Chains A and B, each alone.
Chain A
Amino acid sequence: MSEAQAFRGIEEFSQGNTFIHNLDPRAKIVTTIVFSVVTAMSNSIITAAGALIFPLVLIVSARIDIRKVLGRLYIVNVFILFLWIFLPVTFPGDVIYAVGPVKIHREGLFYALLITLKSNAIVLTVIALLGTSPIFTLVHALSHLWIPDKLVHLFFFCFRYIHVINDEYRRLQQAMKIRGFQPGTNMHTYRTYAYLVGILLVRSFDRAERIVAAMKCRGFKGKFYILNNYEMKHRDYLVAASGLAFSAILLVVK
């Protein structure tokens, strides 16, 4: 996936009006973290396969475009494919198939399958729960979850300026293209990209100075005042409770 495509898809699942989209972001964050950690801990194929049920139900309930989800899973599984090539050959254990000097081991296959299941279950949950909320909503929720203010503000500013800097990067890239820039393995390419990064850093430093000045002018005192607070409703408790209960079952079955 090229960077242009990656950026076009930013927050693409957050638009929607299903009950998953409207869940309290705090409930989403807590459920996602607990479920992901429990899934990451599991060591059996059955638990890992069972773990997939939870995100699949969520994805269907949130009516997310399956093709787009598959696109995301593709990136994740490219790395895992690499493990499928290595692990069965190198993992010590019973040989189930041998082609000349290459031996396929049962334990290696088992391990590769386990990683695939766990990884996909967690990624799907992140897409279904966190992907269905805008980042600013999630960041706002973080401030209610005992995350230090400075870190929350860092998230807030960083996400805000990612778009600005990405636009700036696109403009510079266009300028390079117009001037006939052809990337290759040579010093000219590396120098050009280094200057591109350099100018982005310098401009963002200047921008940061303007931001600080603007904040000072407006009397910023190290605090963002929150205008609307979240309220946990019945369905928020219900979804969070079922997610946590499902995690607990996985933990016990393990």
Chain B
Amino acid sequence: MHISEGVVSFPVLAAGGVLTLAGVAIGLRKMQYDKLPEVAVLSSVFFVGSLIHIPIGPSAAHLVLNGVCGLLLGWLAFPAILVGSTLQAILFQFGGLTTLGVNTFNMAFPAVLFGCICGRFIRSSKRRVRMVAEFVAGGGSVLLSGLLVAVSMVATGDSFVPTARLIVLVHIPVMIVEGIITIIVIEFIKMTRPQMLRSHPMREDFQGV
């Protein structure tokens, strides 16, 4: 869920901006030039993916896919998500320009965190271990993103508490669906292009400048 322009206070915007700047700097340093087209094209897939609406009961939600993004890209999720969010803000007015920092951090930090934690388990030979790790990565990233959005709003003012609660609540069904979808996506990639997962961004392939 994006935060729109003008909603959160200036200190929150500034904090988000600084944290995103740090994340993007780390991501860019880890990205070798050879990997640039791959990161860019994957980031286009996440952009298009976020336009896919999935029915959940009477409502629908768009795919977030930040869990998949974290598993495939690691720290490179920061620049990838920044680029996608900027284009969405300019092209469709989803999110916003001043909220770019907060929104990128809220999406990319969970992606990197769960990418690090669950990344090693998705290469396990035990199917059950893999499935749990993939579900946690996909669902956890979405839930943590929702929590971070709620925190950003509550940090702006206590009056946002009920709105923030509702936002977290809404994220719970989305989390479950994202978890399931992440399992299937990663298992599919494992079957068809295992090399996409083997070169884990935390490891040798992506390091260096």
Contacts and interface: CB of A to CB of B under 8 A. Distances in A.
Contacts of A185: 55-57
B53 A197 contact: no
Interface string A17-41: 0000000000000001100110111
A201 B52 CA distance: 14
Interface string B71-94: 010000001101110110111111
A86 interface: yes
Interface stretch (B6-14, B106-114, B122-130): B6-14
Contacts of A6: 51, 92
Contacts, number: 230
Given A150-B36, A157-B37, A165 B91 contact: no
Interface stretch (A57-65, A74-82, A225-233, A234-242): A74-82
Contacts of A117: 6
A135 B90 contact: yes
Given A119-B4, A183-B54, A198-B189, A36 B34 contact: no
B28 A122 contact: no
A72 B93 contact: yes
Interface in B1-56: 4-7, 10, 13, 24, 28, 31, 33-34, 36-45, 47-49, 51-56
B52 A197 contact: yes
A121 B5 CA distance: 9
Nearest to A168: B48
B4 A80 contact: yes
B87 A159 contact: yes
Interface string A111-133: 10011111101110011001100
A148 B166 CA distance: 39
A212 B32 CA distance: 12
> Is the contact region of chain B dominated by helix, strand, or loop, or is it mixed?
helix
A165 B7 contact: no
A205 B55 contact: no
Interface residues of A, number: 89
A95 to B, nearest CB: 14
B65 A197 contact: yes
Contacts of A91: 159
Interface in A101-118: 107-108, 111, 114-118
Interface stretch (B139-147, B180-188, B200-208): B180-188
Contact of B84 (A130, A157, A158, A207): A158
B86 to A, nearest CB: 7
Nearest to A138: B90
B119 to A, nearest CB: 16
Given A6-B51, A122-B6, A201-B189, A36 B97 contact: yes
Nearest to B39: A154
B161 interface: yes
5 contacts: A117-B6, A193-B52, A202-B192, A202-B196, A205-B38
Given A126-B89, A202-B192, 20 more contacts: A11-B91, A40-B5, A80-B4, A82-B163, A118-B5, A119-B4, A131-B90, A154-B79, A155-B86, A157-B44, A158-B84, A190-B184, A194-B181, A194-B185, A197-B68, A201-B189, A204-B42, A207-B41, A208-B40, A211-B41
